[in-house]
């Protein structure tokens, strides 16, 4: 039985909707997107987005976000425009609201990879086409959908699984907490004191966990957190824009490396995930990330499949 047959969620109409975070989506919405992602992975080439155009605005550099969105649009018969902020007028002082309204007259959706959630919200407020969060300082929703899709592919279910995130309570951790709680998973974030996820995001994830029979726990002991885990996840200790904090963070995160000792606390068939790029022998050892429990490259590929599902749902022909 494939995922399309297993996930019998109610079909929902997402056309025209923004994706800034998963907080204004339901479990049924996410299940529908996961099922469609599997279909598109098995049937990669289509005309679902024929004649459609995606504008991709980048304030921050990218490998996976740019290539996965662009390749996904091409595979579905559409076209993607790469717009670096240094190359368009927004980089010379044109307002976000003007940019949003101008682009809305040209394209069918806008993907924005930005330094600020407030900028993303402003763009969505003034755009008349769907806006997709390609990453901001608070959330990384497309990554989180790829994460749970990868887990679902390997484990056959999400509800009741234990996922442990070891590292900085950053945008990746935020979106992972929200979507995992929404899917009824047991989420544990193990992080040094002072680097916990934002309290308001934790509260929102806890509310979702209560609604969907999951749980959310914040820990400061990665070995204890990893006990009985189905999935161990980590990210870099210093994200883009935090380069000046790198040495300080390296000291703070000593003891939070995902190594074989941490993996040994998890279940024998536990998966290792990382959103990439990775710094081997810093947040994760080469033994783990390049080992048999690692699914990081499947996870990276799945960015394209889930984003295709998102694009089809938000702008595809009916």
140 catalytically annotated: yes
What's the pLDDT tens digit per position in 185-214?
A: 999 999 999 999 999 999 999 999 999 999
200 catalytically annotated: no
Asked if 285 contacts 260 with a C-beta cutoff of 8 angstroms, the reply is: yes
pLDDT band at 68 (very low <50, low <70, confident <90, very high): very high
Among 108, 137, 168, 235, the active-site one is 235
Are 122 and 148 within one domain?
Answer: no
Nearest to 202 by CA among 223, 213, 187, 184: 187
Taking every pair of C-alpha atoms in the chain, what is the biggest distance, in angstroms? 54
| Partners of 273 in beta bridges | 233
Among 143, 204, 257, 312, the active-site one is 143
Say which CATH number the domain at 47 has.
3.40.50.1370
121 catalytically annotated: no
Are 308 and 276 within one domain?
Answer: no
Where do the H-state alpha helices sit in 131-183?
A: 141-155, 171-182
Are 284 and 308 within one domain?
Answer: no
How many CB atoms sit inside 10 A of residue 192's CB?
19
275 catalytically annotated: yes
Mean pLDDT for all residues in the chain: 95
Among 66, 274, 303, 305, the active-site one is 303
Contacts for 175 with CB less than 8 Å, ≥ 6 apart: 21, 22, 139, 140, 141, 143, 144
Are 151 and 255 within one domain?
Answer: yes
Is the bond into 277 cis (omega within 30 degrees of 0)?
Answer: yes
| Structural domain that includes position 187 | 141-299
Confidence (pLDDT) at 241: 67
Confidence (pLDDT) at 318: 58
Are 131 and 167 within one domain?
Answer: no
C-alpha 132: how far from chain center: 12
Q: Token digits for 245?
A: 């904090």
159 catalytically annotated: no
Among 18, 29, 36, 113, the active-site one is 113
Confidence (pLDDT) at 1: 40
What's the pLDDT tens digit per position in 204-260?
A: 999 999 999 999 999 999 999 999 999 999 999 988 667 778 899 999 999 999 999
Are 307 and 247 within one domain?
Answer: no
Among 66, 140, 174, 274, the active-site one is 140
Are 167 and 289 within one domain?
Answer: yes
What's the pLDDT tens digit per position in 269-289?
A: 999 999 999 999 999 999 999
pLDDT band at 112 (very low <50, low <70, confident <90, very high): very high
220 catalytically annotated: no
pLDDT tops 80 at residue 12: no
| Partners of 186 in beta bridges | 162, 215
pLDDT tops 60 at residue 10: no
Confidence (pLDDT) at 136: 97
What's the pLDDT tens digit per position in 143-183?
A: 999 999 999 999 999 999 999 999 999 999 999 999 999 99
Among 275, 299, 305, 312, the active-site one is 275
Please count the structural domains in the chain: 2
Confidence (pLDDT) at 246: 87
Are 208 and 89 within one domain?
Answer: no
Are 151 and 283 within one domain?
Answer: yes
Confidence (pLDDT) at 8: 42
Confidence (pLDDT) at 317: 72
Are 78 and 19 within one domain?
Answer: yes
pLDDT tops 70 at residue 308: yes
Could you tell me the CA-to-CA distances from 290 to 64, 246, 287, 297 in Å, in that order? 19, 24, 6, 10
Asked if 58 contacts 123 with a C-beta cutoff of 8 angstroms, the reply is: no
Are 97 and 242 within one domain?
Answer: no
Are 195 and 245 within one domain?
Answer: yes
| pTM of the full structure | 0.96
Task: Give the whole-angstrom CA distance, residue 113 versus residue 94.
Answer: 17
Confidence (pLDDT) at 282: 97
């Amino acid at each position: 039985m494939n995922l399309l047959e297993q996930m019998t969620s109610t079909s929902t109409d997402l056309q025209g909707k923004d994706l800034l975070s998963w907080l204004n989506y339901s479990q049924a919405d996410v299940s529908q997107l996961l099922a469609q992602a599997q279909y598109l992975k098995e049937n990669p080439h289509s005309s679902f987005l024929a004649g459609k155009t995606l504008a991709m605005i980048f304030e921050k550099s990218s490998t996976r976000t740019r290539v996965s969105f662009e390749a996904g649009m091409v595979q579905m018969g559409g076209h993607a425009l790469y717009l670096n902020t240094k190359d368009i007028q927004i980089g010379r002082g044109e307002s976000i609201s003007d940019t949003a309204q101008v682009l809305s007259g040209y394209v069918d959706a806008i993907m924005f990879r930005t330094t600020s959630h407030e900028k993303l919200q402003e763009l969505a407020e003034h755009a008349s086409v769907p806006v997709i969060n390609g990453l901001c300082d608070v959330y990384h929703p497309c990554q989180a959908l790829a994460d749970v899709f990868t887990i679902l592919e390997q484990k056959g279910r999400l509800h009741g699984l234990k996922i442990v995130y070891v590292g900085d309570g950053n945008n990746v951790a935020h979106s992972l907490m929200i979507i995992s709680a929404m899917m009824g998973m047991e989420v544990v974030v193990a992080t040094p004191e002072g680097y916990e996820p934002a309290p308001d995001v934790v509260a929102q994830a806890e509310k979702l966990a209560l609604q969907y029979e999951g749980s959310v726990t914040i820990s400061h002991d990665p070995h204890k957190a990893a006990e009985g885990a189905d999935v161990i996840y980590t990210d870099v200790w210093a994200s883009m824009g935090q380069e000046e904090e790198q040495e300080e963070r390296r000291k703070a995160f000593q003891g939070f490396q995902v190594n074989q000792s941490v993996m040994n606390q998890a279940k024998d068939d536990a998966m290792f995930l990382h959103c990439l790029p990775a710094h081997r022998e810093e947040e994760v050892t080469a033994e783990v990330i390049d080992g048999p429990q690692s699914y990081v490259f499947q996870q990276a590929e799945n960015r394209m499949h889930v984003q295709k599902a998102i694009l089809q749902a938000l702008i595809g022909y009916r």
